[in-house]
Amino acid sequence: MSSLKIENFIKNSVIELSAYKINETESNEALKLDANESNYTLSKNIKKRYADFIKDTLINLYPDSGSKNLIKLLEKFYDTASKNFIFGNGSDELISIILLSLKKDVVVNIPSPSFSMYDIIARYNDLKINLIKLDEKYFDLPENISSNEDKSLKKIFFFSYPNNPTGSHFDRNVIIKLLENKNNIVVVDEAYIFFSNKKSFIEYISKYDNLIVLRTFSKIGLAGLRFGMLFSGDKLINEFKKIKLPYNINSLTLSSIEFFLNNFDEFDKNIKKTIKQRDKLYSALNKFNYIHVYPSDANFVLIKLKDKKLKNKFDGFLRDNNIIIRSFTGNMRLFYRITVGMPAENKKLVDYFKSFSGENNFI
Ligand SMILES: Cc1ncc(COP(=O)(O)O)c(C=O)c1O
């Protein structure tokens, strides 16, 4: 019997991809600081009230698109009418919905480095991609990005704000300038904005009909629920509503989000703790002269090995000690992104980094 010729059915852009690799660990000993989750868990008291709240969720029925209470809570939380937002199974799904809706002659502009899913999803949608190389010193956009634009080209820009993995913000005025050209759509992905003191772009959706803002609760302690939101003006959102799958958010997640919005103080406390820990971690890591540490407005810190000869040894050290932080390839191979963990985890990490410099007297 002959076998299936995969290339007769599956797009080349899919065949050429590698599956997204998730770092899983069986070991309780591992120091896992790679996925920008929050390692804070819920207090006993909240856990009990949460269990009580969701126990009557009707899982025999398809989910509705959120109870009236949930919609009201979200309208208030984001100060936006519900007609201007949709939910996604994480903001990943919303990035996918945006890219799925685009015509093939729209060029997808993605800063490099940035969140990898913009590029991956654009690729398998067979869209043209333009990578905007960020300068390594500040990781900002090239100054001439808006003035040098070919105004006749149709473009979409993805700006993670703050940017993953650099932790820095792009210049707000440059983003606004790009929004002023109606041949551009600008996506501002605010996955990490809870940790930054910059203002959200959500309030601009009534002013700029070519603006899309993405939010998620994944980074503040609810990654497992998979709940993201997309905000935009009437024109764009009405198109996205047509391709969003009808029951994309499960009933337990919808109930949970309602409960957690009513108990947001708990998360607010943890956000503040994370910011403090991030700044402490930054200062502690900054003392090691074998790495460069980048200031961050997010829940992670980016570092770079100063000497490329250390790369193999450092990777071996991480592996041997079960330290899981995000590493990169290509021209980012000397960089590592460290998620801010609990105080004890951050201390453990700093101690490991200290012992690495101790082992390597030449550093
Ligand atoms: C910039 C950015 N956007 C979106 C996401 C995805 O978030 P979600 O968990 O809501 O799918 C991430 C996750 O790492 C991210 O870094």
For residue 1, is it within any domain?
Answer: no
Mutate to test the pocket of ligand 1, among 37, 112, 115, 328 (most ligand atoms within 8 A of CB): 115
For residue 278, which of 198, 339, 323, 326 has the smallest C-alpha distance?
A: 339
Q: Are residues 219 and 146 in the same domain?
A: yes
Compute the average pLDDT of residues 41-49: 94
Q: What is the pLDDT of residue 94?
A: 98
Give bridge partners of residue 293 from the DSSP assignment.
303
**Average pLDDT across the chain, whole number:** 94
Verify that 258 and 269 share a domain, yes or no: no
Mutate which of 21, 38, 91, 99 to test ligand 1's pocket (most atoms within 8 Å of Cβ)?
A: 91
Residue 155 CB neighbours (<10 A): 19
Residues 158 and 257 in one domain: yes
State in Å: Cα 264 to ligand 1 middle. 20
Q: Which of 233, 263, 293 is the last residue of a domain?
A: 263
Q: Nearest Cα to 70, choosing from 193, 204, 227?
A: 227
In this structure, what CATH number is given to the domain that contains residue 27? 3.90.1150.10
Identify whether 52 is part of a domain.
no
Model confidence band, residue 145 (pLDDT cutoffs 50, 70, 90): confident
Residue 148 scores a pLDDT above 80: no
Question: In degrees to the nearest 10, what's the CA dihedral of 84, 86, 90, 92?
Answer: -80
* Domain boundary, last residue among 207, 228, 263: 263
Nearest ligand 1 atom to the CA of 35 is 14
Q: How many domains does the chain have?
A: 2
Which residues span the domain enclosing 253?
59-263
Whether the pLDDT of residue 363 is over 60: the answer is: no
| Assigned domain for 49 exists | no
Of the listed ranges 26-40, 79-93, 253-267, the one predicted with least confidence: 26-40
Q: Within a domain: residue 289?
A: yes
What's the whole-number mean pLDDT along residues 150-179? 94
pLDDT confidence tier of residue 147, bands split at 50, 70 and 90: confident
Please name the residue whose Cα sits nearest to atom 8 of ligand 1. 90
DSSP 3-state of 244: coil
Per-residue pLDDT reduced to its tens digit, 313-356: 999 999 999 999 999 999 999 999 999 999 999 999 999 999 99
Residue 74 has pLDDT above 60, yes or no: yes
* pLDDT interval class at 206 (50, 70, 90): very high
Structure tokens at 145: 């990005």
User: In which band, very low, low, confident or very high, does the pLDDT at 171 lie, cut at 50, 70 and 90?
Assistant: very high
What 3-state class would DSSP assign to 17?
coil
Asked if the model's pLDDT at residue 362 lies above 70, the reply is no
Q: Which of 236, 263, 290 is the last residue of a domain?
A: 263
How far does the centroid of ligand 1 lie from the alpha carbon of residue 336, in Å? 18
Q: Where are the beta strands (DSSP E) in the chain?
A: 31-33, 85-88, 107-112, 129-133, 155-160, 184-189, 211-216, 228-232, 291-293, 300-305, 323-327, 335-339
Best substitution site from 164, 326, 340 to test ligand 1's pocket, by max atoms within 8 Å of Cβ?
A: 164
Ligand 1 is surrounded, with C-beta below 6 A, by 36, 90-92, 115, 160, 164, 189, 191, 216, 218, 223, 228
Give tens-digit pLDDT for 277-323: 999 999 999 999 999 999 999 999 999 999 999 999 999 999 999 99
Structural domain contains residue 53: no
Give the span between the Cα atoms of 127 and 185, in whole angstroms.
15
What pLDDT does residue 20 have? 85
2: which DSSP letter? P
Counting atoms of ligand 1 from 1, which one is nearest the CA of 92? 11
Place of tokens 């309208």: 75
